[in-house]
Structure formats: structure tokens, C-alpha cells
Structure 1
Amino acid sequence: MEIITGVERRRRWRAEDKLRVLAEAAEPGARTSEVARRHDISRGLLWYWRRQLRQGRLAVRGAPEPMFLPVQVSGPVLPEPVAPGMATNPQIEIALPDGTCVRVGTDVDAAALRRVLGVLRR
């Protein structure tokens, strides 16, 4: 005999909440099983949400759509003479429409640059 003491529930998760849980699971050192347990969901559901995010099927409604921004390439600039023994440090300069200017070395990690630009968009 089986006794059911409560009502089986099926939660409805908003996209914002799913993305918040996914961001928590993506933190360095985070364990998928612990994040799932903390939010009372299965690991499989967390992996399903990750797949939805990768496929572009999970997005916040009303979030701005990605768009191309105009790029202005300055004219040819002659490099300044460099004294022997001095290393050059080539940089990439990104000027945003609000006047913010970001300069990074050419060796910057793409993920780090993405995080910086993401913070500036807020």
C-alpha cells in the first residue's frame, strides 16, 4: 500500500531563475550536484537547462538582442621607433558609444574580455 501525504508538485521556473542557477553552477569550483541539491532540482534538469542555453532556447524576455556596432578603423599609423632592448606592448582599444574606452593587450583572454565588456554593458 502507498500513502501519498502531499501534492506532487511541478514547479514553473522563470528564465531569470534558470539563468541564475546556471550562473551559480558555472562559478569556479562549483559542483553541479551541490547546486542542484541546494535548489531542489535534479542534475539532469540542470544539464537540460545548460543545453537549452547553448542552443539559444533559454533567454530572458525583454533582454536586448545582440547587435553589431559600427567599428572605426583609424588610418595607418607609423610605429614609433623603439630603442633596442625595449619591448613593444601592442594594445587593442575598444571605444564604446557612451565614451568608455577599454584598452587591453593582445594577449588578453577572450573570456576575461567578455566578462569586462559584460560588466560595462550594465
Structure 2
Amino acid sequence: MSQVQVISGVERRRRWSDEQKQAIVAAAFAPGAVVTEVARRADVNSGQIYRWRRDLRMEPSGFAEVVVSSAGPSDISASVIDVALSDGTRVQIAAMTPPELASAVVKALVHR
């Protein structure tokens, strides 16, 4: 006759709120961060963090990530806003462009 071992205890599957997922993903992809170290601290697999990042990108949030850098000359007439979309599309908008027009250009690119 064979034996069967029954292991009882707390369920291992955990539930993460969207806010927790966003915090872990943001920490994992912060400048200088290492995904595997963040995963170890959060007690998740690093592949799970990449999955959450992909899933969170698919959710329409109405906001876009903006990175501000000080590359190039400080001459205001030469200043441009460089917009890079996730599909690889890039557009440069003069810094002196009215905000309404810049917003309309970005919206047109996103919704095409």
C-alpha cells in the first residue's frame, strides 16, 4: 500500500493590488536598479515583474511617462521637446509651441 503525504498550511498564491504592482515595477526599473534584486526583496520571480510591466503598459491610463534631460545647449530658441512613443515614433516640438498645439500633436500620434 502506498503512502500519501498531505501538506496543509497557508496558500502560497498571493494577491497584489495594482498599486503594489506599480510600486514594485517602478522600483525595478528605476535608474540604477537591478530587477532581480527588487524581485528578491519583494519575494517574487523577476519574470513576474516583467509580466506586470507589460500588463500595466496595456492599461489605458491617460498619462505618459516623461523624462526630462538637460542635453544640449541652453539656448531657448534651440530648445525642443523630443517625444518618443512606445511604437518607436518620434517627434520634436519646439519649446515655444503653445501647449494646446503640442498636446494636439501628441494626441494625434497616439490615436493614429
What TM-score results when the alignment is normalised by the length of structure 1?
A: 0.46
Question: By percentage of residues, which structure has more helix?
Answer: 2
What TM-score results when the alignment is normalised by the length of structure 2?
A: 0.50
